[in-house]
């Protein structure tokens, strides 16, 4: 089937079934799959592909679905040869496949992945970014100093076929996304030779107002109508499926981090302990929360409901939207981050050293499979606050003279808040400025590996 003209002169995009869409994919091709976790994921298209004998695919997505869902089903079937993405650890079976050599993986920071896809769709060969400079992720990439900053070259990404998910399409293929479902879908819809959009409903031309079109129909070759159910949303299906580790020490750290935020700040909260800060923020604080999967104006988690009802944050947890909130795609989101428009990033840490270097994404003996957006945020936010326990469970200090774990960023940390102390980097010097409730100076001295100045 080929596109025909509508009465308005716009093309009329053929509507096909999911099995017909799957038949468009050939063994050995590169497949782009939209979504962030299972939000905005074209799960019906991918599951139809899992019913075919197509093999040796290169699968490009933020992650390989969840165990048995979307790309996770292709993985179980042995249909994937390689996966390119930023966070494979959300699927334990992908981790096992990589460790056992059944799946080749290429790890790219989340913002670089989004921009590489956008560049691929725009006919740009690649770009230089400060993200990942000085880290193992940079590998043997070309590195240059531009505008006084070390930057890594990232080549553009394109695919043979893209499967994307939108909320609505009109008969001309114009797409409208819902809430945080833009994520990687918008860029991927531009970056493949053939694009199939899975949509909740197909409406007549003119139903979607021009200002409501997120992806113009010129990019879309086929439409598939498929109704999304909670079963397709995996861990995001209900907020009750998410578990936060909450104790008094962590809450002390979250409250101390909140005290650093100022009215009007745009703030990004990482996963783990930093997510607790969100539960403490009220409208009176005047803080605007940003989540890298495409939302500004994040509110608290709802008491019940899931991604069919609410947007999701970077932890794939359903959240609410405050008045004045906005949605955008992953490429725009990381443009905000790299462009210095995020005032504060609050992140977890595995190690911070005396030179303000952060390591928070990889440990020895484990595969390098999950960097997410940490490198982009650490190098792009105007101020970086790290929340972490003062020591490992065995008492090993996490504030160290030199990071021994793979770096997330160099020289970017402004403040460290642990369960025992608060440190700041003043004129480049690690400085103890405060003791946390119940902690003693002797405990802090004994549990800190790096030299520091005391300014209590």
Active site residues: 292
Instruction: Round to whole Å and give the CA distance between 301 and 305.
Output: 9
Residue 283 φ/ψ, nearest 5 degrees: -55, -30
Residue 378 in 3-state DSSP? helix
Please check whether residue 295 is in contact with residue 314, taking contact to mean a CB–CB distance below 8 angstroms. no
> In 3D, which of 372, 287, 356, 290 has the Cα closest to residue 327?
290
Please tell me the distance from the alpha carbon of residue 397 to that of residue 450, in angstroms, as a whole number.
9
CA distance 75 to 49: 11
Angle, alpha carbons 300-306-307 (nearest 5°): 95
| Pick from 400, 32, 22: nearest CA to 224 | 22
Check if the beta carbon of residue 261 is closer than 8 Å to that of residue 287: yes
The helix (run of H) or strand (run of E) holding residue 453 is strand 453-454
Query: SS3 of 413, please?
Result: strand
Beta strand ranges found along 185-283 (DSSP E)? 192-203, 222-225, 266-269
Residue 327 Cα distances to 39, 248, 412, angstroms: 14, 34, 28
d(CA 90, CA 443): 36
How far, in Å, are 30, 102, 114, 116, 422 from residue 220 at the CA level?
17, 33, 19, 20, 52
Angle in degrees, 0-180, between the axes of helices 330-338 and 110-122, rounded to the nearest 10:
120
Contacts of 6 (CB under 8 A, 6+ apart): 12, 171, 172, 205
175-176 and 222-225 strand pairing: unpaired
Cα–Cα distance between 104 and 117 in angstroms, integer?
A: 20
- The alpha carbon of residue 287 and the mean position of all alpha carbons in its chain are separated, in whole angstroms, by 21
Q: Label residue 378 left, alpha or beta by phi (over 0 means left) and psi (-120 to 50 means alpha).
A: alpha
């Amino acid at each position: 089937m080929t596109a025909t003209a509508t009465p308005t002169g716009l093309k009329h995009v053929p509507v096909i079934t999911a099995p017909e869409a799957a038949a468009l994919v050939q063994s050995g091709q590169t497949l782009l799959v939209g979504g962030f976790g299972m939000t905005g994921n074209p799960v019906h298209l991918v599951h139809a592909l899992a019913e075919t004998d197509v093999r040796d695919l290169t699968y490009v997505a933020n992650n390989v679905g969840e165990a048995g869902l979307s790309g996770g089903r292709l993985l179980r079937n042995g249909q994937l040869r390689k996966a390119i993405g930023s966070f494979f650890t959300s699927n334990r079976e992908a981790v096992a496949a990589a460790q056992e050599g059944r799946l080749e993986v290429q790890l790219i920071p989340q913002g670089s992945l989004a921009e590489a896809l956008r560049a691929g769709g725009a006919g740009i060969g690649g770009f230089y970014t400060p993200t990942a400079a000085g880290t193992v992720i940079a590998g043997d990439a070309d590195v240059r100093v531009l505008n006084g900053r070390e930057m890594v070259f990232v080549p553009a990404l394109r695919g043979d076929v893209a499967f994307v998910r939108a909320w609505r399409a009109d008969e001309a293929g114009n797409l409208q996304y819902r809430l945080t479902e833009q994520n990687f879908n918008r860029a991927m819809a531009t970056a493949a030779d053939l694009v199939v959009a899975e949509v909740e409903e197909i409406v007549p031309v003119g139903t979607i107002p021009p200002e409501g079109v997120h992806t113009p129909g010129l990019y879309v070759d086929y439409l598939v109508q498929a109704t999304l159910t909670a079963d397709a949303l995996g861990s995001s299906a209900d907020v009750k499926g998410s578990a936060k580790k909450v104790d008094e020490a962590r809450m002390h750290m979250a409250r101390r981090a909140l005290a650093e935020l100022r009215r009007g700040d745009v703030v990004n909260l990482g996963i783990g302990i930093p997510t607790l800060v969100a539960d403490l923020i009220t409208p009176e604080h005047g803080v605007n929360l940003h989540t890298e999967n495409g939302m500004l104006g994040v509110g608290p988690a709802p008491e019940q409901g899931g991604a069919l009802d609410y947007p999701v944050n970077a932890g794939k947890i359903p959240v609410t939207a405050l008045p004045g909130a906005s949605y955008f795609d992953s490429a725009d989101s990381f443009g905000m981050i790299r462009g210095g428009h995020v005032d504060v990033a609050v992140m977890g840490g595995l190690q911070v050293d005396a030179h303000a270097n952060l390591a928070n994404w990889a440990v020895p003996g484990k595969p390098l499979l999950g960097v997410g957006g940490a490198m982009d945020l650490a190098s792009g936010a105007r101020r970086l606050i790290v929340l972490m326990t003062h020591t490992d469970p065995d008492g090993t200090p996490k504030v160290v003279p030199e990071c021994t774990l793979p770096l997330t960023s160099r020289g970017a940390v402004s403040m460290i808040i642990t369960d025992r102390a608060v440190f700041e980097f003043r004129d480049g010097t690690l400085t103890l400025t405060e003791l946390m409730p119940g902690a003693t100076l002797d405990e802090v001295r004994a549990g800190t590996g790096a030299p520091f100045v005391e300014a209590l």
